[in-house]
Amino acid sequence: MTQTVLAIDDSPEIHQLLRVRLKNLDVELSHAHCGFDGFDQALTGNPDLILLDVMMPDASGFDICRKLKATAETRNIPVIFLTGASDVDQKVLGFDVGAVDYIQKPFDSAELNARVRAALRTKRFQDMLAQRAMIDGLTGLWNRAHFDQRMHEEVAAAARYDRPMSLIMMDVDKFKNLNDSHGHPFGDEVLQAIGDILQGSARTSDWPCRYGGEEFSFILRETDLEGAVVMAERVREQIESLQLRNKSQLVPVTASFGVAASTMCMNPRDLSPKWVIEAADRALYAAKENGRNRVCTADRP
């Protein structure tokens, strides 16, 4: 898989030099010519590595690095400083604010390639470990830890860019009865089948998660309430159509759904992951109270 590198430098010559020197690496190189534009690109593009100039007219690389490390969406992106100075104090400061390495200008081609390869290799391994730690072992969906992180990021993005996001909370109906009547192995089979449905329904920008026990969640980026209801209804129908058998007996399975959207929050200052989750939970409770196997939406507060 091609990794992405963002170069932030005010010198067009440096960008041209990086294009030439990194052309043999399997990387996609993007460019920003000032610090704040670079920060915005990092926030939206989530590169695997940032090459950051120390001295820029609008902000120093140290300030931009501090800002990157203080922001949830960018704090795990490794930063390599580019500098023409050999001052030890500057290098120490760079490491203190969160950089993983320094490359001194003018670049030695072999050294540049080696340091970039090393940083990208470490990032790839870290991503693999982090992803493994956030996968639910039974269903293969994202787990609760990933749900909490992703909700924070998506709600923050919805508020920052004024774009909608929605949350579907769902619960398998009478799951305890399924376990008691047919055994826990069959209950696990039900959860795995639902996990397959959620994974098959997800777009690349969606995050289906196992919230806990028999409860699942679906985080939908750039999706309004109407779109989320359509998704929830589609998943509900697929679950209702499952043909799961225990000892040749066909066992019906259904689920209830609660849907909320960021656009339902009337005061933008109140919008938070807690607000969206509680709204979806209220809708899920209403679905259960009104007969189960249905999709309900959160009322406007």
Shared domain for 120 and 220, answered yes or no, is no
- Taking the C-alpha atoms of residue 252 and residue 182, their distance in angstroms, rounded to an integer, is 12
The pLDDT assigned to 132 comes to: 80
Q: How confident is the model at residue 99 (pLDDT cuts 50, 70, 90)?
A: very high
Q: Is the pLDDT of residue 300 over 50?
A: no
pTM: 0.68
Q: Is residue 180 part of a domain?
A: yes
- Taking the C-alpha atoms of residue 178 and residue 252, their distance in angstroms, rounded to an integer, is 9
Do residues 258 and 169 lie in contact, with contact meaning Cβ atoms separated by under 8 Å? yes
Shared domain for 101 and 201, answered yes or no, is no
- Taking the C-alpha atoms of residue 222 and residue 21, their distance in angstroms, rounded to an integer, is 38
| Averaged pLDDT of the chain | 92
Q: Is residue 137 part of a domain?
A: no
Q: Is residue 164 part of a domain?
A: yes
Indicate the pairing of strand 206-212 with strand 215-221.
antiparallel
> Residue 211 carries which DSSP code?
E
98: left (phi over 0), alpha (psi -120 to 50) or beta: left
Shared domain for 124 and 199, answered yes or no, is no
Q: Is residue 57 part of a domain?
A: yes
- Taking the C-alpha atoms of residue 6 and residue 248, their distance in angstroms, rounded to an integer, is 57
Do residues 244 and 250 lie in contact, with contact meaning Cβ atoms separated by under 8 Å? yes
Q: Is residue 215 part of a domain?
A: yes
- Taking the C-alpha atoms of residue 219 and residue 258, their distance in angstroms, rounded to an integer, is 12
Burial of 297 (0-12, 13-18, 19+ CB in 10 A): buried
Residue ending a domain, among 132, 165, 182, is 132
Shared domain for 230 and 252, answered yes or no, is yes
Domain holding 103: CATH number? Answer: 3.40.50.2300
Shared domain for 103 and 202, answered yes or no, is no
- Mark whether 154 is an active-site residue: no
Q: Is residue 72 part of a domain?
A: yes
Shared domain for 125 and 215, answered yes or no, is no
Averaged pLDDT for residues 152-160: 90
Shared domain for 111 and 175, answered yes or no, is no
Q: Is the pLDDT of residue 88 over 70?
A: yes
Q: Is the pLDDT of residue 58 over 50?
A: yes
Domain count, the chain: 2
Averaged pLDDT for residues 239-268: 92
Biggest distance spanned by C-alpha atoms of the chain: 75
Residue ending a domain, among 132, 158, 192, is 132
Q: Which of 234, 209, 204 is nearest to 222 (CA)?
A: 204
SS3 251: strand
Shared domain for 110 and 85, answered yes or no, is yes
Q: How much of the chain, in percent, has pLDDT values that exceed 90?
A: 78
pLDDT digits (tens, 9 = 90+) for 158-203: 988 888 999 999 999 999 999 999 999 999 999 999 999 999 999 8
Shared domain for 149 and 293, answered yes or no, is yes
Q: Is residue 138 part of a domain?
A: no
Averaged pLDDT for residues 136-162: 92
What Å distances lie between residue 220 and 114, 204, 275, CA to CA?
39, 10, 16
Tell me which of 73, 154, 189, 214 is the catalytic residue.
214
Based on C-alpha coordinates, what's the Rg of the chain? Answer: 24
Q: Is the pLDDT of residue 285 over 70?
A: yes
Shared domain for 163 and 68, answered yes or no, is no
Among 183-187, 202-206, 266-270, 282-286, the minimum mean pLDDT is found in 266-270
pLDDT digits (tens, 9 = 90+) for 1-17: 789 999 999 999 999 99
Pull the structure tokens for residue 289: 């109270």
Averaged pLDDT for residues 238-256: 94
Q: Which residues contact 263 (CB under 8 A, 6 or more apart)?
A: 164, 224, 225
Residue ending a domain, among 99, 132, 165, is 132
Range of the domain at 114: 3-132
Shared domain for 100 and 167, answered yes or no, is no
The pLDDT assigned to 284 comes to: 97
Domain holding 183: CATH number? Answer: 3.30.70.270
Q: Is the pLDDT of residue 301 over 60?
A: no
For residues 171 and 133, the model is more confident at 171
Averaged pLDDT for residues 108-129: 91
Do residues 46 and 73 lie in contact, with contact meaning Cβ atoms separated by under 8 Å? yes
Q: Is residue 263 part of a domain?
A: yes
Shared domain for 122 and 43, answered yes or no, is yes
